[in-house]
Structure 1
Amino acid sequence: MAIAHDHIQQRAIMRVHSAYRFVLATALFIALMFGPAKSTLGASAPQIFGFVVSGYAVFALGLMLRHYFTKGSYSPTQLFFEFFIDIGAIMFMSYCSGSADSGLPLLLIVSISAASITLPSQLSLAIAALATISAISEVAAHTLYEQVSAQQFIVAGITGTAYFSAAIAIRYLSARIVKTQQLAERRRTDIEKLSAINQRIVERMQTGIIVMSRTGHIKLINDAAQELLDIPTAEADQDQYAPAVLIEMAKEGVNHSRIIAVGPQHLDVHVNMTNLEAQDHSDCLLYIENISKIAQRAQNLKLASLGRFTASIAHEIRNPLSAISHAAQLLGESPNLDASDSRFTEIIQNHALRMNAIIKNILELSRGRTSQPERFSLGDWLDAFASDWRPTERHEYTINIEKLDETDTIKVDRSQLNQIISNIAENAVRHGAAAQGTAELHFRCSTLARSGAVILDIIDNGDGIASEDIDKIFEPFFTTQAQGNGLGLYLCRELCLANQIHIYYHRTAHQESCFRLQFSHPDRGTLPE
């Protein structure tokens, strides 16, 4: 019966057996020295018994110290020698006791059992055979100087049978236990691997995952959920709690979904909650999805529809508009016009140009191709943008670029990003120059410490947007300027949606006008907040 012997298991068993061996030898020595005068122990040869039990106690102490204080694997030869000494010492003491009534041979069952667990099958049966031979030999030795009944040979034979029975039974049980242990170890390894894979999948999922109690205590959360809900990473000894709106959902105790606004920028996310168990008080499993991806798909459908519509009307509007503009230009060059008529032709030309700009912006929206994202450094891209870009209107301006972190990798469409920044910078220069005479643009590039996602602040020195108009600035055709068409920021937002960029307007701590772009994570494709 083959069995794999584990070094740690062998060491544990031998430590226990060495302690048992030392306790047994000490107990026999004490019984010999302080026991009753008519004791069976050492009855035939008490001096030899004392010498053997003393040597056996010293031998047991040495082995116990070795097993407890040394490390290393055991060889079968070393273990066989230990059990062989056990058999010789106990059988010699049994012989010195001069009677089968001492019961000392039965003590070998413990050693045989230990040998069956720690030794290979052939050697463990050899130990049982040696013990049986010793038991019969001890009875035979008594026949040399005294009359021995046949019953003692029968008892020796029964004892030998007990030895073999114990060896075989312990060997079988040990094999079953080891096999079960190995199976459990394989299952444990498989479960650990599966758990590690599941944990890796959950961590890398673009959908946020949260397992929490009804009171909001978070038991499991992945990176995407932390970023979407703006939940800071807790220390090892600290508990994490979900936002209040999620706790309210959990207290309702039903499986449902809801779109909620989270974070200081009120980012819309879709939360789907389900109970882990049938009980209402069980933990909750929440799937949190950034609906910007849904908005992106809707945006693609909307752009396709808008493209078909604008393609059909562009020719019908642009040709007459071009004729009107050209006629007004020719009329304005006539020497027969007075000042008031020249003013009218100028108005016609200005509004023709304005209508042409509106059509141009709508065509840019309708022709919006699928974004082609690529990874690149935002800081390097800003340096190139600042050196190449010029505003359409001739205003004095300066551009300052501040890079707060070395890691600034983003994954967006370069041309669409150029269009977004150009539109915002165009507005910033115009308003900054109107308010201060010279426009000042400040690009500040930084990285969120928790998620590694990049944010870009575009700060200008203009008067900024009135608080009552902030919610409207990204609506189409909304403008506060007499000559504006209200499509520039709308176009920026649509392009941001196509690239999973969250754009919003806010005032800085110094009340400066600022547009913030929060880029999606370059690896997971989720918005940072």
Structure 2
Amino acid sequence: MARDVSSQFAPSWYSAFEGSHVQSREQRMRAFVRLWRAFMRARVFIATVLLALQVFMLVSQTGGPNWLVVVCSAHLCAALVTLYLWRPAEQAAPMHVQWLLTIGVDVLVFALLQSFQVGSINYTALFALPVLLASILGSLTLALATAASVTLYLLGEAALHAPLFSDLSTARFLQAALTGTGFFLVGVLANQLAIRLAREEALTASSQAAARAQAQVNELVIESLTVGVLVVDPHGVVRSANPAAQAMLLGQVSPQAAKLLLSARSSWQHLAHLVNETFARGEALETETTIDNEDRPSQRLHARTRLTAQSGRSAGLCVLFLEDLREVEARVRTEKLASMGRMSAAVAHEIRNPLSAITQANALLDEEVQAPAQKRLTRMIEQNAQRLSRIVDDILNVARAQPSQDTTSAPSLPLDQTVRQIAHEWVRQSKAERILGVHAHAPAAHVGFDPEHLRRLLINLLDNALRHASGKPSSIRLITQPSGSEHVRLSVWSDGQALEASVMRHLFEPFFSSESRSSGLGLYICRELCERYGAQIAYRRTRLDQREGNEFYALIPAASAAPTREPTQQSLSYPMGDSVATRAEHQGHPLSGDTPLATR
């Protein structure tokens, strides 16, 4: 590929051009090679013709010296070698040796043939080939140099073959001068036209590349849209359809969607009528429709049409947009939930003061009453007041603006020690001594987490597990273990029933719960706390001790810790896909379901 032309050489056809629209180095090199080979084939053809002509004149004894056959043979061999064995020279180097062995050889051979011509044969027109070769593939300097060498040869030949200051001499000098001037003009014009053509080709290639890139971006955007897009012609034939539209109409993504007819199915008749009405009126329309599917639930869609601009005799196309009303309603519900969240936070803030008054009054009343029935009533008031207090705290914690926490500024907690302490407090409050089993396998791990936030995260996960666990011994497992060199895995497993698909889609959303007595904020708060410290929380169904269960696990970035004594257990890393039991057994801690918390 040609290098950029320096300031001392004029730019050639395939050299770099000023401006932002230039061809790439590879594109220009390919174009240069194509033209180079075309010229080399022309040289081979001309050399073959000249050799045949010299052989004919040698046989007929009508030509010049016999050694001209050898010259033409050498010329043909040189042309073949250049065509098949040499790479094209860079046009930015006008004095490259390859130019001398192509243009120089041609000028020399044609000059010998012209000098030793016999009869009326004139080889002057052949000089146009090296001049054009230099002008189109080389620089302007090389073209002018080639034209100048040819002109000097013609003038020298005129001076040698005619007496000076004679009429014949004047005519031959004038003819040589005019021919040389013509070669100069051909060289300059061919070079300038070549540069102009190359610049236009570069602009065209750049525009095509930009158009292709834009088309790819448009196609990517359309394919990733959740809104269905159909392009329909006036005959109702679907020219193209994005994956969302194919899924709405067919229930699956099919490459044959572009061959569909909207009138092919009775459930699409409303869409076909809408498209026909759009073409008839020549304006955009919209409506709500329902597609009744045989093998899947019906879909309520919002359909709107747009017409493309007409070009010539073409009637244009209709673009049909389909939007699933369930998604629209889901967005509306999300906005309503956000509004309800803000309203709930305001209401919760106002509830705190009367709730505190109720709690204090109940405590005073409990000190005065003595009857068992009255004591039972005060305990009921206390339990429900505490439940209301927890709900208020959850709502206020969700509503508070919580920026992401810098893990470097958070305190570095020893994970196993902290988890054991939190689990002990939770067991004492929940009276779940034999239900919970703790398996701490990350003795050297430290995490950058606020102690209170880690406690809330773990308490929420344990409370959620307790609501769904069977209540058998070790039906809840709390496990810590390293996960790679940069994270620690904290998981809570319970032997509850598998979650429904509709529940799994909304697990970590606010105000969503499968129980009527839950605020639906526990898992959402867990996700918010994890994201604040760069951790990730997720759910999966997994097997532990030959029992299926639900596992909520958090991957927490490991933090650097102060030098401590050498741990007694070796920290190992296991893939995420391994079961909890398998990893524990690798660590040398079989997960026995019979060991209570106190013995661990």
Match status 1:495 vs 2:495: no
**Which consecutive unaligned segments of at least 5 residues does structure 1 have?**
222-233, 242-247, 259-269, 333-340, 404-408, 448-453, 520-529
Partners of 2:91 and 2:138 within 8 A in 1: no
Secondary structure of the residue aligned to 2:86 is: helix
Choose the corresponding residue for 1:119, options 107, 132, 138: 138
Choose the corresponding residue for 2:375, options 343, 346, 354: 346
Task: Write out per-residue CA displacement over residues 412-462 of structure 1, whole angstroms, 9 at most, x where no aligned residue.
Answer: 9996675354234124336647x3255423669999xxxxxx999753135
Task: Write out per-residue CA displacement over residues 19-47 of structure 1, whole angstroms, 9 at most, x where no aligned residue.
Answer: 32233222211222246966xxx945231
Choose the corresponding residue for 2:10, options 2, 16, 35: 2
Partners of 2:510 and 2:520 within 8 A in 1: yes
Pairs within 5 Å for 1:60-459: 60-68=79-87, 75-77=93-95, 78=97, 79-80=99-100, 82-99=102-119, 101-143=120-162, 155-183=175-203, 301-332=339-370, 341-342=371-372, 344-368=373-397, 369-374=400-405, 386-390=419-423, 391=426, 392-395=429-432, 396-399=434-437, 419=456, 421-429=458-466, 432=469, 435-441=471-477, 458-459=492-493
Task: Write out per-residue CA displacement over residues 255-276 of structure 1, whole angstroms, 9 at most, x where no aligned residue.
Answer: 8999xxxxxxxxxxx9999979
CA 1:504–1:345 in 2, change beyond 3 Å: closer, same or farther? Answer: farther
Partners of 1:274 and 1:284 within 8 A in 2: yes
CA 1:271–1:493 in 2, change beyond 3 Å: closer, same or farther? Answer: farther
Partners of 2:144 and 2:187 within 8 A in 1: yes
Please report how far the alpha carbon of residue 115 of structure 1 lies from its aligned counterpart in structure 2 after TM superposition.
0.9
Secondary structure of the residue aligned to 1:45 is: coil
CA 1:141–1:283 in 2, change beyond 3 Å: closer, same or farther? Answer: farther
Matches of 2:73 and 2:117 in 1, distance apart? 15
Partners of 1:464 and 1:513 within 8 A in 2: yes
Please report how far the alpha carbon of residue 472 of structure 1 lies from its aligned counterpart in structure 2 after TM superposition.
12
Matches of 1:59 and 1:52 in 2, distance apart? 10
CA 1:134–1:163 in 2, change beyond 3 Å: closer, same or farther? Answer: same
Please report how far the alpha carbon of residue 131 of structure 1 lies from its aligned counterpart in structure 2 after TM superposition.
1.4
CA 1:88–1:439 in 2, change beyond 3 Å: closer, same or farther? Answer: closer
Partners of 1:457 and 1:514 within 8 A in 2: no
Secondary structure of the residue aligned to 1:436 is: coil
Please report how far the alpha carbon of residue 351 of structure 1 lies from its aligned counterpart in structure 2 after TM superposition.
0.5
Relative contact order: is structure 1 or structure 2 higher (C-alpha 8 Å, sep ≥ 6)? Answer: 1
CA 1:208–1:370 in 2, change beyond 3 Å: closer, same or farther? Answer: farther
Q: Which amino acid in the other structure matches residue 490 of structure 1?
A: G
Matches of 2:449 and 2:328 in 1, distance apart? 17
Secondary structure of the residue aligned to 2:402 is: coil
Matches of 1:216 and 1:402 in 2, distance apart? 61
- Give TM-score scaled by structure 2 length: 0.56
Matches of 1:217 and 1:371 in 2, distance apart? 46
Please report how far the alpha carbon of residue 171 of structure 1 lies from its aligned counterpart in structure 2 after TM superposition.
1.5
Matches of 2:541 and 2:468 in 1, distance apart? 15
Matches of 1:33 and 1:467 in 2, distance apart? 91
Matches of 2:382 and 2:362 in 1, distance apart? 10
Q: Alignment identity in percent? A: 15
Matches of 2:502 and 2:32 in 1, distance apart? 79
Matches of 1:108 and 1:220 in 2, distance apart? 63
Q: Which amino acid in the other structure matches residue 91 of structure 1?
A: A
CA 1:505–1:125 in 2, change beyond 3 Å: closer, same or farther? Answer: closer
Choose the corresponding residue for 2:550, options 506, 514, 521: 514
Secondary structure of the residue aligned to 1:514 is: strand
Please report how far the alpha carbon of residue 397 of structure 1 lies from its aligned counterpart in structure 2 after TM superposition.
3.2
Q: Which amino acid in the other structure matches residue 129 of structure 1?
A: A
Please report how far the alpha carbon of residue 356 of structure 1 lies from its aligned counterpart in structure 2 after TM superposition.
1.4
Q: Which amino acid in the other structure matches residue 350 of structure 2?
A: S
Partners of 1:52 and 1:93 within 8 A in 2: no
CA 1:255–1:173 in 2, change beyond 3 Å: closer, same or farther? Answer: farther
Matches of 1:141 and 1:469 in 2, distance apart? 104
Q: Which amino acid in the other structure matches residue 48 of structure 2?
A: T
